[in-house]
Structure 1
Protein backbone atom coordinates (compact mmCIF):
# COMPACT_ATOMS: atom_id res chain seq x y z
CA UNK A 1 0.00 0.00 0.00
CA UNK A 2 1.40 3.42 -0.96
CA UNK A 3 1.69 6.04 1.76
CA UNK A 4 -0.54 9.06 1.31
CA UNK A 5 1.58 11.60 3.19
CA UNK A 6 5.10 10.09 3.39
CA UNK A 7 5.56 9.57 -0.32
CA UNK A 8 7.90 7.07 -1.98
CA UNK A 9 9.34 5.63 1.24
CA UNK A 10 10.42 2.00 1.53
CA UNK A 11 12.19 -0.15 4.10
CA UNK A 12 15.64 0.60 2.69
CA UNK A 13 15.14 4.27 3.58
CA UNK A 14 14.49 3.51 7.25
CA UNK A 15 17.40 2.67 9.52
CA UNK A 16 18.04 0.70 12.69
CA UNK A 17 15.97 3.35 14.45
CA UNK A 18 13.66 6.11 13.25
CA UNK A 19 13.72 9.22 15.41
CA UNK A 20 10.45 11.14 15.63
CA UNK A 21 10.48 14.89 16.27
CA UNK A 22 7.59 17.31 16.32
CA UNK A 23 9.32 20.33 14.78
CA UNK A 24 10.28 19.88 11.09
CA UNK A 25 13.26 22.22 11.64
CA UNK A 26 14.68 19.73 14.12
CA UNK A 27 15.13 17.15 11.34
CA UNK A 28 17.93 19.20 9.76
CA UNK A 29 19.37 20.13 13.17
CA UNK A 30 19.84 16.49 14.15
CA UNK A 31 20.67 14.91 10.78
CA UNK A 32 23.34 17.51 9.94
CA UNK A 33 25.89 15.37 11.84
CA UNK A 34 25.12 12.24 9.80
CA UNK A 35 27.05 10.93 6.82
CA UNK A 36 25.28 10.53 3.48
CA UNK A 37 22.28 12.48 4.78
CA UNK A 38 19.47 12.31 2.22
CA UNK A 39 15.99 13.84 2.06
CA UNK A 40 13.55 10.99 1.42
CA UNK A 41 10.17 12.71 1.67
CA UNK A 42 8.83 16.22 2.31
CA UNK A 43 5.11 16.91 2.50
CA UNK A 44 3.25 19.31 4.80
CA UNK A 45 4.67 18.88 8.34
CA UNK A 46 6.27 15.53 7.47
CA UNK A 47 9.98 15.58 6.58
CA UNK A 48 11.89 12.29 6.44
CA UNK A 49 15.69 12.10 6.21
CA UNK A 50 17.93 9.05 6.13
CA UNK A 51 21.68 8.85 6.77
CA UNK A 52 24.58 6.96 8.33
CA UNK A 53 25.52 7.23 12.01
CA UNK A 54 28.70 5.41 13.04
CA UNK A 55 28.38 2.99 10.14
CA UNK A 56 24.68 2.22 10.57
CA UNK A 57 21.70 3.59 8.67
CA UNK A 58 19.33 5.69 10.77
CA UNK A 59 16.37 7.90 9.94
CA UNK A 60 14.43 10.83 11.34
CA UNK A 61 10.91 12.06 10.62
CA UNK A 62 8.94 15.09 11.80
CA UNK A 63 5.38 14.52 12.97
CA UNK A 64 4.08 18.03 13.61
CA UNK A 65 2.22 18.78 16.83
CA UNK A 66 -0.38 16.55 18.43
CA UNK A 67 -2.19 13.26 18.15
CA UNK A 68 -3.58 13.40 14.62
CA UNK A 69 -0.39 14.13 12.74
CA UNK A 70 1.62 11.77 14.96
CA UNK A 71 -0.81 8.95 14.14
CA UNK A 72 -0.35 9.60 10.41
CA UNK A 73 3.45 9.62 10.58
CA UNK A 74 3.69 6.56 12.82
CA UNK A 75 1.28 4.41 10.81
CA UNK A 76 2.86 5.31 7.47
CA UNK A 77 6.37 4.64 8.82
CA UNK A 78 5.20 1.24 10.06
CA UNK A 79 3.70 0.60 6.60
CA UNK A 80 7.12 1.41 5.14
CA UNK A 81 9.01 -1.02 7.37
CA UNK A 82 10.19 0.98 10.40
CA UNK A 83 12.10 -1.20 12.86
CA UNK A 84 12.23 0.92 16.02
CA UNK A 85 10.99 4.35 17.14
CA UNK A 86 12.23 6.91 19.63
CA UNK A 87 10.40 10.20 20.05
CA UNK A 88 12.79 13.10 20.64
CA UNK A 89 10.92 16.13 21.87
CA UNK A 90 10.28 18.61 24.61
CA UNK A 91 7.92 18.64 27.55
CA UNK A 92 6.73 20.76 30.43
CA UNK A 93 7.66 19.57 33.92
CA UNK A 94 4.87 19.19 36.46
CA UNK A 95 7.22 18.10 39.24
CA UNK A 96 9.87 19.83 41.36
CA UNK A 97 12.04 16.76 40.75
CA UNK A 98 12.71 17.99 37.20
CA UNK A 99 14.64 21.08 36.16
CA UNK A 100 14.70 22.78 32.74
CA UNK A 101 17.33 21.06 30.62
CA UNK A 102 16.99 17.64 32.28
CA UNK A 103 16.22 14.53 30.24
CA UNK A 104 13.06 12.55 30.90
CA UNK A 105 12.23 9.04 29.72
CA UNK A 106 8.57 8.13 30.22
CA UNK A 107 7.82 4.46 30.78
CA UNK A 108 4.09 5.14 30.42
CA UNK A 109 1.64 7.94 29.65
CA UNK A 110 -1.77 8.98 30.90
CA UNK A 111 -3.88 10.20 27.98
CA UNK A 112 -7.08 12.03 27.14
CA UNK A 113 -10.24 9.88 26.74
CA UNK A 114 -11.06 9.08 23.14
CA UNK A 115 -7.59 9.41 21.66
CA UNK A 116 -7.06 6.57 19.12
CA UNK A 117 -10.31 4.95 20.25
CA UNK A 118 -10.71 3.55 16.71
CA UNK A 119 -7.62 1.42 17.35
CA UNK A 120 -8.23 0.20 20.89
CA UNK A 121 -10.26 0.84 24.05
CA UNK A 122 -9.30 3.83 26.21
CA UNK A 123 -8.25 1.47 29.00
CA UNK A 124 -5.39 0.06 26.87
CA UNK A 125 -2.06 1.18 28.38
CA UNK A 126 0.26 3.61 26.63
CA UNK A 127 3.63 2.12 27.58
CA UNK A 128 7.18 2.29 26.25
CA UNK A 129 9.24 -0.76 25.37
CA UNK A 130 11.07 -1.47 28.66
CA UNK A 131 14.27 -2.85 27.13
CA UNK A 132 14.65 0.09 24.75
CA UNK A 133 13.95 2.59 27.53
CA UNK A 134 16.53 0.95 29.81
CA UNK A 135 19.16 1.03 27.07
CA UNK A 136 18.63 4.75 26.46
CA UNK A 137 18.67 5.48 30.20
CA UNK A 138 21.98 3.65 30.63
CA UNK A 139 23.54 5.55 27.71
CA UNK A 140 22.34 8.90 29.08
CA UNK A 141 23.75 8.13 32.53
CA UNK A 142 27.10 7.12 31.03
CA UNK A 143 27.17 10.50 29.29
CA UNK A 144 26.68 12.23 32.62
CA UNK A 145 23.25 13.72 31.94
CA UNK A 146 20.63 14.34 34.59
CA UNK A 147 18.02 11.80 33.49
CA UNK A 148 14.69 10.85 35.08
CA UNK A 149 12.07 8.18 34.43
CA UNK A 150 8.40 8.11 35.35
CA UNK A 151 4.84 8.46 34.09
CA UNK A 152 3.85 11.46 31.98
CA UNK A 153 0.71 12.74 30.33
CA UNK A 154 -0.15 13.19 26.65
CA UNK A 155 -2.93 15.68 25.98
CA UNK A 156 -4.72 16.71 22.79
CA UNK A 157 -4.85 20.32 23.99
CA UNK A 158 -1.97 22.75 24.56
CA UNK A 159 -3.92 25.43 26.46
CA UNK A 160 -6.95 24.44 28.55
CA UNK A 161 -6.01 20.74 28.44
CA UNK A 162 -2.76 21.55 30.21
CA UNK A 163 -4.12 24.16 32.66
CA UNK A 164 -2.29 26.84 30.65
CA UNK A 165 -3.44 30.45 30.55
CA UNK A 166 -4.30 31.68 27.04
CA UNK A 167 -5.11 35.33 27.69
CA UNK A 168 -8.50 35.20 25.96
CA UNK A 169 -11.09 36.61 28.35
CA UNK A 170 -14.35 35.98 26.48
CA UNK A 171 -14.77 32.22 26.77
CA UNK A 172 -13.63 29.11 28.69
CA UNK A 173 -10.78 29.54 31.16
CA UNK A 174 -8.20 27.00 32.42
CA UNK A 175 -9.04 24.88 35.43
CA UNK A 176 -6.00 25.01 37.72
CA UNK A 177 -7.21 21.98 39.65
CA UNK A 178 -6.54 19.82 36.57
CA UNK A 179 -2.75 20.00 36.85
CA UNK A 180 -2.89 19.65 40.64
CA UNK A 181 -4.98 16.50 40.31
CA UNK A 182 -2.35 14.81 38.17
CA UNK A 183 0.59 16.15 40.18
CA UNK A 184 -0.90 14.49 43.26
CA UNK A 185 -0.82 11.23 41.29
CA UNK A 186 2.88 11.67 40.49
CA UNK A 187 2.59 12.60 36.83
CA UNK A 188 5.96 14.19 36.05
CA UNK A 189 5.35 15.97 32.76
CA UNK A 190 2.97 16.82 29.98
CA UNK A 191 3.35 16.77 26.18
CA UNK A 192 1.26 15.94 23.11
CA UNK A 193 2.62 12.92 21.19
CA UNK A 194 4.22 10.08 23.20
CA UNK A 195 1.05 8.15 24.08
CA UNK A 196 0.11 8.00 20.39
CA UNK A 197 3.47 6.47 19.53
CA UNK A 198 3.44 4.05 22.47
CA UNK A 199 -0.04 2.72 21.69
CA UNK A 200 0.50 2.27 17.97
CA UNK A 201 3.93 0.72 18.46
CA UNK A 202 2.51 -1.73 21.00
CA UNK A 203 -0.40 -2.68 18.75
CA UNK A 204 1.84 -3.27 15.72
CA UNK A 205 4.76 -4.77 17.67
CA UNK A 206 7.45 -2.13 17.06
CA UNK A 207 9.77 -1.20 19.98
CA UNK A 208 9.25 2.44 20.95
CA UNK A 209 10.36 4.86 23.65
CA UNK A 210 10.81 8.58 24.17
CA UNK A 211 13.65 10.85 25.26
CA UNK A 212 12.38 14.30 26.19
CA UNK A 213 14.17 17.51 27.06
CA UNK A 214 12.45 19.45 29.82
CA UNK A 215 11.77 22.77 28.09
CA UNK A 216 9.93 24.51 30.91
CA UNK A 217 9.15 24.04 34.59
CA UNK A 218 5.46 24.72 35.10
CA UNK A 219 6.23 25.23 38.79
CA UNK A 220 8.00 28.55 38.21
CA UNK A 221 7.65 29.17 34.44
CA UNK A 222 11.41 28.83 33.96
CA UNK A 223 12.32 28.07 30.33
CA UNK A 224 15.49 26.77 28.67
CA UNK A 225 16.92 29.45 26.32
CA UNK A 226 16.30 28.59 22.65
CA UNK A 227 19.94 28.02 21.67
CA UNK A 228 20.58 25.81 24.71
CA UNK A 229 17.39 23.91 23.91
CA UNK A 230 18.62 23.21 20.38
CA UNK A 231 21.96 21.91 21.66
CA UNK A 232 20.25 19.70 24.23
CA UNK A 233 18.19 18.09 21.46
CA UNK A 234 21.34 17.39 19.44
CA UNK A 235 22.97 15.80 22.50
CA UNK A 236 19.85 13.75 23.27
CA UNK A 237 19.76 12.51 19.67
CA UNK A 238 23.37 11.32 19.85
CA UNK A 239 22.64 9.46 23.09
CA UNK A 240 19.60 7.75 21.56
CA UNK A 241 21.44 6.80 18.37
CA UNK A 242 24.38 5.37 20.29
CA UNK A 243 22.00 3.41 22.52
CA UNK A 244 20.05 2.00 19.57
CA UNK A 245 22.95 0.91 17.38
Structure 2
Protein backbone atom coordinates (compact mmCIF):
# COMPACT_ATOMS: atom_id res chain seq x y z
CA UNK A 1 0.00 0.00 0.00
CA UNK A 2 1.26 3.46 -0.92
CA UNK A 3 1.27 5.76 2.11
CA UNK A 4 -0.75 8.99 2.28
CA UNK A 5 2.45 11.03 2.46
CA UNK A 6 3.59 9.60 -0.92
CA UNK A 7 0.32 9.52 -2.89
CA UNK A 8 -1.35 12.73 -1.77
CA UNK A 9 -5.06 13.14 -2.50
CA UNK A 10 -7.31 16.13 -2.00
CA UNK A 11 -10.45 15.86 0.19
CA UNK A 12 -12.55 15.28 -2.94
CA UNK A 13 -10.38 12.31 -3.94
CA UNK A 14 -8.50 14.09 -6.72
CA UNK A 15 -4.71 13.93 -7.17
CA UNK A 16 -2.91 16.66 -5.21
CA UNK A 17 -1.44 19.14 -7.72
CA UNK A 18 -3.53 18.54 -10.82
CA UNK A 19 -6.89 18.27 -9.02
CA UNK A 20 -7.88 15.48 -11.39
CA UNK A 21 -9.72 12.19 -10.94
CA UNK A 22 -9.13 9.17 -13.21
CA UNK A 23 -12.31 9.75 -15.23
CA UNK A 24 -11.20 13.29 -16.13
CA UNK A 25 -8.40 12.34 -18.55
CA UNK A 26 -8.18 10.71 -21.97
CA UNK A 27 -5.52 8.25 -23.12
CA UNK A 28 -4.20 10.86 -25.58
CA UNK A 29 -2.83 13.90 -23.75
CA UNK A 30 -1.40 17.10 -25.23
CA UNK A 31 1.13 19.00 -23.09
CA UNK A 32 1.61 22.75 -23.47
CA UNK A 33 3.67 25.03 -21.26
CA UNK A 34 1.40 28.07 -21.23
CA UNK A 35 -2.01 27.73 -19.58
CA UNK A 36 -3.47 30.19 -22.12
CA UNK A 37 -2.56 27.80 -24.94
CA UNK A 38 -4.92 25.14 -23.55
CA UNK A 39 -8.05 26.95 -24.75
CA UNK A 40 -6.30 27.88 -28.01
CA UNK A 41 -6.28 24.15 -28.72
CA UNK A 42 -9.65 23.19 -27.25
CA UNK A 43 -11.35 26.02 -29.17
CA UNK A 44 -11.05 23.65 -32.14
CA UNK A 45 -12.75 20.76 -30.27
CA UNK A 46 -16.26 19.53 -31.06
CA UNK A 47 -17.08 19.78 -27.36
CA UNK A 48 -15.43 20.18 -23.94
CA UNK A 49 -16.61 17.84 -21.19
CA UNK A 50 -14.36 18.90 -18.32
CA UNK A 51 -12.29 21.93 -17.25
CA UNK A 52 -10.27 22.59 -14.12
CA UNK A 53 -7.26 24.64 -13.06
CA UNK A 54 -5.01 24.56 -10.00
CA UNK A 55 -1.94 26.81 -9.98
CA UNK A 56 -0.35 26.68 -13.46
CA UNK A 57 -1.91 23.31 -14.22
CA UNK A 58 -4.96 23.87 -16.41
CA UNK A 59 -6.73 20.82 -17.85
CA UNK A 60 -9.50 20.46 -20.41
CA UNK A 61 -10.84 17.21 -21.85
CA UNK A 62 -13.10 16.96 -24.87
CA UNK A 63 -13.42 15.51 -28.35
CA UNK A 64 -11.97 16.47 -31.72
CA UNK A 65 -13.59 14.73 -34.71
CA UNK A 66 -14.80 12.07 -32.32
CA UNK A 67 -11.39 11.52 -30.66
CA UNK A 68 -11.29 12.08 -26.88
CA UNK A 69 -8.26 14.22 -26.00
CA UNK A 70 -6.98 15.92 -22.84
CA UNK A 71 -4.95 19.14 -22.99
CA UNK A 72 -2.94 20.16 -19.93
CA UNK A 73 -0.57 23.04 -19.19
CA UNK A 74 2.57 21.91 -17.39
CA UNK A 75 4.16 25.27 -16.68
CA UNK A 76 7.90 25.64 -17.23
CA UNK A 77 10.72 23.24 -16.47
CA UNK A 78 11.64 19.61 -15.68
CA UNK A 79 10.48 19.95 -12.05
CA UNK A 80 6.92 20.61 -13.21
CA UNK A 81 7.12 17.69 -15.63
CA UNK A 82 8.06 15.48 -12.66
CA UNK A 83 4.79 16.50 -10.97
CA UNK A 84 2.56 16.25 -14.04
CA UNK A 85 3.76 12.91 -15.39
CA UNK A 86 3.88 11.14 -12.03
CA UNK A 87 0.37 12.34 -11.18
CA UNK A 88 -1.05 11.43 -14.61
CA UNK A 89 0.48 7.98 -14.26
CA UNK A 90 -1.04 7.62 -10.80
CA UNK A 91 -4.46 8.49 -12.21
CA UNK A 92 -4.41 5.52 -14.59
CA UNK A 93 -2.15 3.01 -12.86
CA UNK A 94 -2.86 3.29 -9.10
CA UNK A 95 -6.15 2.39 -7.45
CA UNK A 96 -6.94 5.39 -5.23
CA UNK A 97 -9.23 3.31 -2.99
CA UNK A 98 -6.75 0.54 -2.16
CA UNK A 99 -3.62 2.68 -2.77
CA UNK A 100 -2.12 -0.22 -4.69
CA UNK A 101 -0.62 -0.38 -8.18
CA UNK A 102 -3.06 -1.93 -10.64
CA UNK A 103 -2.27 -5.35 -12.08
CA UNK A 104 -3.09 -4.16 -15.61
CA UNK A 105 -1.21 -0.98 -16.48
CA UNK A 106 -2.36 1.72 -18.92
CA UNK A 107 -0.01 3.39 -21.39
CA UNK A 108 -0.75 7.04 -22.19
CA UNK A 109 0.19 8.90 -25.37
CA UNK A 110 1.89 12.19 -24.45
CA UNK A 111 2.25 14.81 -27.19
CA UNK A 112 4.08 18.02 -26.34
CA UNK A 113 3.34 21.09 -28.48
CA UNK A 114 5.81 23.90 -27.89
CA UNK A 115 7.65 26.82 -29.43
CA UNK A 116 11.42 26.78 -29.76
CA UNK A 117 14.42 28.34 -31.42
CA UNK A 118 16.53 26.45 -33.96
CA UNK A 119 20.28 26.14 -33.44
CA UNK A 120 20.98 25.04 -37.03
CA UNK A 121 20.89 27.21 -40.16
CA UNK A 122 19.14 24.53 -42.25
CA UNK A 123 16.08 24.51 -39.97
CA UNK A 124 14.32 27.80 -40.80
CA UNK A 125 11.78 29.80 -38.84
CA UNK A 126 8.15 28.73 -39.28
CA UNK A 127 9.18 25.07 -39.65
CA UNK A 128 8.41 22.16 -37.33
CA UNK A 129 10.89 19.96 -35.43
CA UNK A 130 10.01 16.54 -34.04
CA UNK A 131 12.39 15.62 -31.22
CA UNK A 132 13.65 12.17 -32.17
CA UNK A 133 16.07 12.34 -29.24
CA UNK A 134 16.38 14.65 -26.26
CA UNK A 135 19.35 15.37 -24.00
CA UNK A 136 18.61 16.44 -20.45
CA UNK A 137 21.01 18.93 -18.87
CA UNK A 138 18.83 19.34 -15.79
CA UNK A 139 19.58 16.36 -13.42
CA UNK A 140 15.92 15.77 -12.49
CA UNK A 141 15.72 12.32 -14.07
CA UNK A 142 18.89 11.17 -12.25
CA UNK A 143 16.78 10.88 -9.09
CA UNK A 144 15.33 7.71 -10.62
CA UNK A 145 16.87 4.38 -11.72
CA UNK A 146 17.52 5.29 -15.34
CA UNK A 147 20.32 3.08 -16.68
CA UNK A 148 17.95 0.85 -18.69
CA UNK A 149 16.65 3.71 -20.87
CA UNK A 150 19.80 5.78 -21.49
CA UNK A 151 22.02 6.19 -24.58
CA UNK A 152 25.54 6.23 -23.06
CA UNK A 153 27.35 6.54 -26.41
CA UNK A 154 25.65 9.83 -27.28
CA UNK A 155 26.03 11.05 -23.70
CA UNK A 156 29.78 10.34 -23.70
CA UNK A 157 30.24 12.05 -27.07
CA UNK A 158 28.40 15.14 -25.81
CA UNK A 159 30.44 15.31 -22.60
CA UNK A 160 33.70 14.99 -24.56
CA UNK A 161 32.87 17.40 -27.39
CA UNK A 162 31.51 20.15 -25.11
CA UNK A 163 34.01 19.59 -22.29
CA UNK A 164 30.98 19.33 -20.02
CA UNK A 165 31.68 19.99 -16.33
CA UNK A 166 30.33 16.98 -14.44
CA UNK A 167 29.93 19.11 -11.33
CA UNK A 168 26.73 20.27 -13.05
CA UNK A 169 25.57 16.64 -13.26
CA UNK A 170 25.73 14.07 -16.05
CA UNK A 171 23.56 14.71 -19.13
CA UNK A 172 21.13 11.97 -20.12
CA UNK A 173 19.87 11.08 -23.62
CA UNK A 174 16.42 9.55 -24.24
CA UNK A 175 14.72 8.67 -27.54
CA UNK A 176 11.12 9.49 -28.38
CA UNK A 177 8.47 6.84 -28.90
CA UNK A 178 9.08 5.13 -32.24
CA UNK A 179 5.35 4.48 -32.52
CA UNK A 180 4.51 8.18 -32.18
CA UNK A 181 7.37 9.22 -34.49
CA UNK A 182 5.89 7.04 -37.21
CA UNK A 183 2.39 8.38 -36.56
CA UNK A 184 3.21 12.09 -36.49
CA UNK A 185 6.03 12.28 -39.04
CA UNK A 186 5.51 13.72 -42.52
CA UNK A 187 7.56 15.49 -45.17
CA UNK A 188 7.00 18.88 -43.50
CA UNK A 189 8.64 17.77 -40.24
CA UNK A 190 12.36 17.98 -39.39
CA UNK A 191 13.58 15.17 -37.13
CA UNK A 192 15.69 16.71 -34.38
CA UNK A 193 17.74 16.32 -31.23
CA UNK A 194 16.41 18.62 -28.51
CA UNK A 195 18.40 19.88 -25.53
CA UNK A 196 16.47 20.39 -22.29
CA UNK A 197 17.90 22.92 -19.85
CA UNK A 198 17.04 23.22 -16.17
CA UNK A 199 16.67 27.00 -16.33
CA UNK A 200 16.13 29.88 -18.76
CA UNK A 201 19.05 32.22 -18.08
CA UNK A 202 22.41 30.74 -17.05
CA UNK A 203 21.52 27.16 -18.02
CA UNK A 204 20.77 28.39 -21.54
CA UNK A 205 23.84 30.61 -21.79
CA UNK A 206 22.11 33.94 -21.09
CA UNK A 207 24.15 36.45 -19.13
CA UNK A 208 22.52 39.38 -17.29
CA UNK A 209 24.39 40.20 -14.04
CA UNK A 210 25.85 36.76 -13.31
CA UNK A 211 28.78 35.13 -15.06
CA UNK A 212 28.20 31.53 -16.13
CA UNK A 213 30.37 28.44 -15.77
CA UNK A 214 30.98 28.04 -19.53
CA UNK A 215 30.31 31.05 -21.73
CA UNK A 216 31.13 29.01 -24.86
CA UNK A 217 28.75 26.11 -24.12
CA UNK A 218 26.05 27.18 -26.60
CA UNK A 219 28.59 27.38 -29.42
CA UNK A 220 29.90 23.91 -28.51
CA UNK A 221 26.35 22.55 -28.49
CA UNK A 222 25.68 24.06 -31.92
CA UNK A 223 28.72 22.21 -33.28
CA UNK A 224 28.03 18.85 -31.60
CA UNK A 225 27.92 15.85 -33.97
CA UNK A 226 27.31 12.16 -33.37
CA UNK A 227 26.73 9.85 -36.36
CA UNK A 228 24.99 12.67 -38.21
CA UNK A 229 22.94 13.77 -35.17
CA UNK A 230 23.07 17.50 -34.32
CA UNK A 231 21.38 19.39 -31.51
CA UNK A 232 18.55 21.21 -33.25
CA UNK A 233 16.84 23.24 -30.54
CA UNK A 234 16.92 24.16 -26.85
CA UNK A 235 14.00 24.25 -24.40
CA UNK A 236 13.05 23.12 -20.87
CA UNK A 237 10.75 20.07 -20.88
CA UNK A 238 11.28 17.45 -23.60
CA UNK A 239 14.01 15.25 -22.08
CA UNK A 240 12.12 15.06 -18.78
CA UNK A 241 8.93 14.06 -20.62
CA UNK A 242 10.76 11.38 -22.60
CA UNK A 243 12.59 10.01 -19.57
CA UNK A 244 9.64 9.71 -17.22
CA UNK A 245 7.40 8.38 -20.00
CA UNK A 246 9.94 5.67 -20.83
CA UNK A 247 10.33 4.68 -17.18
CA UNK A 248 6.57 4.58 -16.57
CA UNK A 249 5.65 2.80 -19.81
CA UNK A 250 4.03 5.70 -21.66
CA UNK A 251 4.69 6.91 -25.21
CA UNK A 252 5.89 10.48 -25.79
CA UNK A 253 6.68 12.81 -28.67
CA UNK A 254 7.66 16.49 -28.67
CA UNK A 255 6.63 18.73 -31.57
CA UNK A 256 8.24 22.16 -31.78
CA UNK A 257 7.16 25.20 -33.77
CA UNK A 258 10.39 26.99 -34.73
CA UNK A 259 9.86 30.72 -34.30
CA UNK A 260 13.53 31.80 -34.18
CA UNK A 261 16.80 30.72 -35.77
CA UNK A 262 19.85 31.53 -33.67
CA UNK A 263 22.30 30.43 -36.36
CA UNK A 264 21.21 33.10 -38.83
CA UNK A 265 19.62 35.58 -36.43
CA UNK A 266 16.07 35.44 -37.80
CA UNK A 267 12.69 35.51 -36.05
CA UNK A 268 9.29 34.56 -37.40
CA UNK A 269 7.20 37.42 -38.78
CA UNK A 270 4.06 35.63 -37.64
CA UNK A 271 4.87 33.22 -34.79
CA UNK A 272 1.22 32.83 -33.76
CA UNK A 273 0.34 31.57 -37.22
CA UNK A 274 3.15 29.02 -37.00
CA UNK A 275 1.97 27.60 -33.67
CA UNK A 276 -1.64 27.56 -34.96
CA UNK A 277 -0.51 25.44 -37.91
CA UNK A 278 1.30 23.02 -35.60
CA UNK A 279 -1.78 22.73 -33.38
CA UNK A 280 -3.97 21.93 -36.41
CA UNK A 281 -1.40 19.45 -37.72
CA UNK A 282 -1.24 17.67 -34.35
CA UNK A 283 -5.00 17.44 -33.92
CA UNK A 284 -5.46 16.08 -37.43
CA UNK A 285 -2.81 13.41 -36.83
CA UNK A 286 -4.38 12.49 -33.48
CA UNK A 287 -7.83 12.13 -35.04
CA UNK A 288 -6.61 9.70 -37.71
TM exceeding 0.5: yes
**Number of the residue aligned with 1:45:** 56
Q: What are the within-5 Å matches in structure 2 for residues 137-148 of structure 1?
A: 137-138=185-186, 141=187, 146-148=188-190
- The TM-score with structure 2 as length reference comes to 0.75
Q: Deviations over 1:23-55 (max 9, x none)?
A: 111001111110221443201110000111011
Runs of 4+ aligned structure 1 residues displaced above 3 Å come to 173-176
Q: Deviations over 1:85-137 (max 9, x none)?
A: 00100112111111111100011111115222111347834221012012111
Q: What are the within-5 Å matches in structure 2 for residues 68-147 of structure 1?
A: 68-81=79-92, 83-112=108-137, 114-121=139-146, 124=150, 125-138=173-186, 141=187, 146-147=188-189
1:233 aligns with 2:245: no
Q: Which has the higher contact order (CA 8 A, sep 6+)?
A: 1
Q: For the residues of structure 2 that align with 1:51 and 1:174, how far apart are their CA atoms?
A: 46
1:31 aligns with 2:42: yes
Displacement of 1:198 in angstroms is 0.2
Any idea what SS the aligned residue of 2:185 has? helix
- The TM-score with structure 1 as length reference comes to 0.87
Which among 159, 170, 173 is matched to residue 201 of structure 2?
159
Displacement of 1:221 in angstroms is 3.5
Q: For the residues of structure 2 that align with 1:55 and 1:209, how far apart are their CA atoms?
A: 22
**Number of the residue aligned with 1:217:** 261
Unaligned runs of 5+ in 2: 1-6, 10-14, 93-106, 151-172, 225-229
Task: Say if 2:138 and 2:198, in contact at 8 Å, map to a contact too.
Answer: no
Structure exhibiting the larger radius of gyration computed from Cα positions: 2
Q: CA RMSD in A?
A: 2.0
Q: For the residues of structure 2 that align with 1:24 and 1:151, how far apart are their CA atoms?
A: 26
Q: For the residues of structure 1 that align with 2:215 and 2:265, how far apart are their CA atoms?
A: 15
Task: Say if 1:9 and 1:40, in contact at 8 Å, map to a contact too.
Answer: no
**Number of the residue aligned with 2:223:** 184
Q: For the residues of structure 2 that align with 1:182 and 1:113, how far apart are their CA atoms?
A: 15
Q: For the residues of structure 2 that align with 1:25 and 1:221, how far apart are their CA atoms?
A: 28
> Do the aligned partners of residues 216 and 175 (structure 1) sit closer, same or farther apart at CA in structure 2, a change above 3 Å counting?
farther
